[in-house]
Amino acid sequence: MSKVVPVQELLIGGQRLKTCRNTDFSHARLLSGLSIEQIAQNYGRSQRTVYRWESGQYSPDPLVMEDLRTIYSSRNAQKTARDSFTFIDLFAGIGGLRKAFDSVGGKCVFTSEWDLSCRKTYQDNFVCDHPVHGDIRDIDLDSMPQYDLLLAGFPCQPFSIAGVSKKNSLGKPHGFHCDTQGTLFFDVAQMLDKHRPKAFLLENVKNLINHDKGNTFRIILRTLSEDLGYSVDYRVIDARYFVPQHRERIFIVGFRDTADFSFRTMEIPQSAPKLGSILHPQDSSEMTEQPYTVGSRAEVAAKYTLSDRLWAYLQTYAEKHRAKGNGFGFGLFGPDDVTRTLSARYYKDGSEILIRQQDMNPRRLTPRECARLMGFGNSFKIPVSDTQAYKQFGNSVVVPVVEAVARHMLPHLLGDHGDVSIRDRAQTGARQLRLFEQADRYTETGK
């Protein structure tokens, strides 16, 4: 006997459409609790397009699918409190780290972000049952709630080694209170020392490894492992396998009570998405989102196309540096490409990522396209000016990359590893030594 597939009849535009509920999209939508009408409204698509995703006639937007899975994962985690964990979000920006750890069932209990514009975007997109604190240096550590995980995308700053060298010569002890004093990393280390959370995740630019001739990274590793006693591992990950953008960032993970976490076993997607997946289609298949798109076809607004004067300047500038053998210049991309790194300076001229247009000057990405390029999707609210939006997305993390890291950390966050045996401690010490040796190799080779 053949399997009966539930069928739903939908009426739109005077036409009755049938949708089968055995598609991946239909399953994800039902689990998320969203209706077809809500998805069309939230993601700027026509209901007809969403119906076709539902029936399997068209392949759904992968960004929408990812959002639906995130919504379901978050709701499911709330229903199973035993699998939940708490975290704090430091240097929170617009919430990229939080969005990723929300998706695997975490609950944010404390937030710190000093930039008022970022705080506006953050609070428009996340429900906060706690105040968003400002400067991390002004936080009273004794008043903070308990938490399992510390998240921080801290700024990269040099550490002075003069005091350390003097103490070494005098035979006096020193530690992170001396080595990192005056830096924002010091405030992170203080919290770890004071609260002893189960784990932490730190994120930074790839060049942290070579910053100040490698001194900065060596002090960070030594502080986290030797001074604070965490088992530490790190990995540089290129976002190009998650979004159509080259963006290398270092992720440093530490666990208080386990020595078996390793980035080596973390799987990275093999296929890289293309730029066309995040560009406005400009064919009426998505709803108009002013001020980014206009008209019945939701075409990109004219203000994002470069003026003749700016385009001429960028070409002249690029040619001048090309003649000198330098690589400076604009980056021009089409739908089948992977872009350069989106930076916080994108608001100035957009030169690092320009989009080809037929019979027209190239254009900048819209802020909505930047949101997609960073993995925030269509439902993420952008309540600030274009200038602020470009800065915020350029400074953020790529959400799907952090989600992959979060999923890799999750079993260790939820598992009960108990006390670490003497043998495990010995293995941990050996692995930490290998980390320092690896850090030295990075510094020497410039990788």
Any idea which residues carry the catalytic annotation? Answer: 156
Q: Are strands 293-294 and 299-300 parallel, antiparallel or unpaired?
A: antiparallel
Closest to 252 (Cα-Cα) out of 375, 152, 361: 152
Q: Are 259 and 427 in contact (CB under 8 A)?
A: yes
Q: 79 is written with which tokens?
A: 């229903």
Angstrom CA distances, 445 to 213, 438, 441, stand at 11, 11, 6
Spatial distance between the Cα atoms of 51 and 49, rounded to a whole number of angstroms: 5
The span from the first CA to the last CA of the chain, in angstroms, equals 61
- Cβ neighbors of 34 (< 8 A, separation 6 or more) are 42, 68, 71
Spatial distance between the Cα atoms of 49 and 13, rounded to a whole number of angstroms: 13
Spatial distance between the Cα atoms of 279 and 369, rounded to a whole number of angstroms: 6
Radius of gyration of the chain (CA): 24
SS3 231: strand
Q: Are 31 and 72 in contact (CB under 8 A)?
A: yes
Q: 164 is written with which tokens?
A: 């350390």
Spatial distance between the Cα atoms of 40 and 47, rounded to a whole number of angstroms: 5
- φ, ψ dihedrals at 200, nearest 5°: -145, 155
Spatial distance between the Cα atoms of 177 and 238, rounded to a whole number of angstroms: 33
Spatial distance between the Cα atoms of 205 and 345, rounded to a whole number of angstroms: 15
- Cβ neighbors of 10 (< 8 A, separation 6 or more) are 16, 17, 18, 19, 36, 51
Spatial distance between the Cα atoms of 330 and 313, rounded to a whole number of angstroms: 11
